[in-house]
Structure 1
Amino acid sequence: MKINPGQLGQALEKSLAPVYLVSGDEPLLVQEACDRIRTKAREEGFNDRQVYHADQHLNWGALRDELGAMSLFAERRRIEIHLPNGKLGDGRDVIEHALSQPADDILLLLISTRLDAAETRRKWYKQLQKAGIHVTVWPVDPDKFAGWLQQRARSRGLTLTQRALNLLSERLEGNLLAASQELDRLSLLASEKTINEDVVEAAVQYSARFNIFEVITDLLAGRAAHARKVITTLQQEGESPLGLLAVLVRDLNMTLELQQAMKQREAPAAFLKKNGVFQPQRARAIEQAARRLALPVLHQALTLCSEADRAAKGYGDLSPWHHLSDLAVALRQS
């Protein structure tokens, strides 16, 4: 069964499915949907949590054994598998086997970027539709971002004046993760429940020199030296790399899709507008990257993003910023 995040609460109230797939390119909404599933699973006794990343390091054979193993202590388990590229790849047989007879003591949670279209035609996905639930997360349309932001503020007991709303919308540029973080800060710092533009101007972090949108533009344009400088600054300022990674993966995937569209003789401007890329600087950077970068380079970049994501979550010996610095070199102009 396929549902949207707004239907998830009602679905969880009815019963807990043995398997969930949460997919989309908005990390905040994906995370929140997963957290609701995790909360319900804990209430049902699925307290043991194991997390896997479907990249080149994953041992699918070991995961198959884990999915087929009986719990010695009757402990119900949550097994989470992250799909950074929206593909199962070598793990399709493993997941097909697990979905053929879902175990009573395992809740399987697959977490993916926007699911690769080819995957939706495969056996495992059809099995999942029958056995479980697919929560599809779509980006907030640019023309609806301000409304989403106001609604989000009200959920925290805040009201944004129109000027404050316009200022936040301009600065956040549709980044839901950054928006949520800034609203959290405003709820702590503001003495009044009504937030005007002066409060936003004073409280919201805004760096014209070193923001994530600038570094992503630099990366797509191949300006390695400046990108690495910005990355170092963000690291020194204690920024989380996850927000940057989320937007970067989104734009790298959009670059790949644009390359395919251009091969079909679709006009870049029309394709980007159709897919919600309205900001001129972002559209220009994606189009230039699509024309400049070879397919293997883009795949290497997504692999480095996956490595950085794993590092940010405590896997490996290197920092996520190290992998992002390597990515800047991989995408540099020849």
Structure 2
Amino acid sequence: MKLYPDKLEAHLSKTLAPVYLLHGDEPLQLMEIGDRLRVRAKESGFDERQVIAIADDSDWSTFREAADSFSLFAEQRLIELRLPTGKPGRIGGEVLQKYCSNPPADILLLITSSKLDRNGTNSAWFKAIDKVGVSLAVWPVPAAQLGAWLTQRLAAKGLYADADALELIADRVEGNLLAARQEVERLALLYPAGELSSDQILAAVSDSSRYSIGDLSLAALHGESVRALRILAGLHDEAVSEVLVLWSLVNEIRAGARAAESIEAGASEDAALKSAGVWQSRTAPLKKALTRHTASSWLSMLSACTHIDRQIKGQASGSHWDSLAALTTELAGHGEIPLRKNSGIPV
């Protein structure tokens, strides 16, 4: 069953499905919906929680073992499965289809994925999940709706702002919901409940526009290495999950690798981008990046993503934030990724 995020509460008040799939590229909403489902699961007796991040086919064995095993500590368990690429592959697709054919009664499965393309939502594994469970697509809040979103968030803190003040906040955060939430929380700490003036907001709201995960990948694709590194530094300072940052870069790099291989095989640039499943809004920046990178360099960056994933999990030495800085620099420029030594994240 496909469900819109604003209908989630009504759904949870009636039932709890055995499987939930959250997919999209808006990190705040993914995080908050995931948190709500975790709370609801705990209320229903799913006291034990296990998180499995899928990096390669071997991780599906871990998931199978977790799904087949009995818990020693709780009768019901929540298993969180994270798909950074949104593509489980042949093995993962088969595992998910088999699981959904007869989901265990004592397990609640929560799958979090990056944005799925048309092939993903038409796949057999997605349809198997949709048949037995619930899928929620999370999209960025359109600019025209950001004012209403901010009004709702401020009202929950007992604060109210006129149209000019709301526009001022919206201009400062540029659609970055993580930054917008932080600004609302800051305003609630600084001012008592009541009406907010534009002067108060000017004094309190910092310029957070550069701290957007989406802006990070766009800046790198456009070749704006200095700006991209500043965005990465901002994400680091805001304690944005490094997993989400890596997801953002992996999606673009994977698409670039597929397109570059098709082009080198003789396909036109437009045909290559279409076959790679690139969304229209990403076509122009990816075309710029394709002029700077060969198929070999795209594959080198994919290899670096695997290394960074291992660093995040504690399975490889070194700073994953330093490696993310090196990867961002490479995506924005030329040459091999200096993973052995890099200059780190600027401040």
Per the normalisation by structure 1, the TM-score is: 0.79
What is the match of residue 22 of structure 1?
22
Residue type of the alignment partner of 2:321: W
Alpha-carbon deviation of 1:233? 5.3
- Label 1:298 to 1:149 Cα distance change in 2 as closer, same or farther (>3 A): farther
Q: Which digits, 9 at most, give the CA deviation of each residue in 1:96-126, with x for residues without a partner?
A: 2211111011100000111232232332222
- The gaps in structure 2 that reach 5 residues or longer are 263-267, 335-347
Alignment of 1:1-334 (within 5 A): 1-56=1-56, 59-89=59-89, 90-206=91-207, 211=211, 218-224=219-225, 226=226, 230=230, 234=234, 238-242=237-241, 245=245, 248-249=248-249, 252=252, 263-264=270-271, 275=281, 288-289=288-289, 291-294=291-294, 317-334=317-334
Q: Aligned Cα RMSD in Å?
A: 3.8
SS in 2 for 1:2: coil
Larger displacement relative to structure 2 (316-325 or 159-168): 316-325
Alignment-mate amino acid for residue 137 of structure 1 = V
What displacement does 1:227 show?
Answer: 5.3
Q: Matches of 1:193 and 1:246 in 2, distance apart?
A: 40
Letter in 1 for 2:319: S
**Amino acid across the alignment from 2:222:** A
C-alpha distance 52-184 of structure 1, shift in aligned 2 (>3 A): same
Give 1:202 deviation, angstroms.
1.6
Supply the AA of the counterpart residue of 1:240.
A
- Any gaps of 5 or more consecutive residues in structure 1? 278-282
Could you report, residue by residue, the CA deviation over 1:187-238 in whole angstroms, capped at 9, with x for unpaired residues? 1112352222222222122279x755876555223354x3586378548x83
Indicate the SS of the match to 1:20: strand
CA contact (8 A) 2:289 2:331 kept: no
Note closer, same or farther for the CA distance 1:148–1:100 as it changes in structure 2 (3 Å cut): same
Distance (whole Å) between structure 2 residues aligned to residue 47 and residue 33 of structure 1: 18
1:256 Cα deviation from its structure 2 partner: 5.5
The amino acid that maps onto 2:23 is: S
Deviation at 1:48, TM superposition (A): 0.8
Q: Deviations over 1:251-301 (max 9, x none)?
A: 8389759x79961499xxxx98x75x8xxxxx9756533554456655765
How many residues in Structure 1 have an aligned counterpart in Structure 2? 321
C-alpha separation between the residues in 1 aligned to 2:296 and 2:13? 45
In the TM superposition, what whole-angstrom CA distance separates every residue of 1:163-199 from its partner, at most 9, and x where no partner exists?
Answer: 2211111111111111111111111112352222222
- Residues 211 and 232 of structure 2 are in contact (CA less than 8 Å); yes or no, is this contact kept in structure 1? no
| Aligned counterparts of 1:306 and 1:155: Cα–Cα separation in 2 | 41
- 1:241 and 1:312 in contact (8 A); partners too: no
- Change in Cα spacing, 1:309 to 1:245, as seen in structure 2 (3 Å) is farther
Shift of 1:83: 1.1
Moved more, 132-141 or 68-77: 68-77
Q: Distance in 2 between matches of 1:265 and 1:91?
A: 26
- SS of 2:56's partner is coil
How far residue 317 of structure 1 moved from its aligned partner, in angstroms, is 4.6
Q: 1:310 Cα deviation (Å)?
A: 7.6
Give the residue type in structure 2 aligned to 1:108.
L
* Secondary structure in 1 matching 2:105: coil
CA contact (8 A) 2:158 2:193 kept: no
Distance 1:321 1:14, change over 3 A: same
Deviation at 1:56, TM superposition (A): 3.0
What is the alpha-carbon distance in structure 1 between the residues aligned to residue 313 and residue 197 of structure 2?
36
After superposition, the Cα gap between the structure-2 partners of 1:307 and 1:33, relative to the gap in structure 1 and judged at 3 Å, is farther
1-structure distance, mates of 2:220, 2:248: 9
- 1:168 to 1:87, Cα distance in 2 relative to 1, 3 A: same
Superposition TM-score, scaled by structure 2 size: 0.77
Instruction: Indicate conservation of the 8 Å contact 1:2/1:135, yes or no.
Output: yes
User: In percent, how many aligned pairs have the same letter?
Assistant: 34
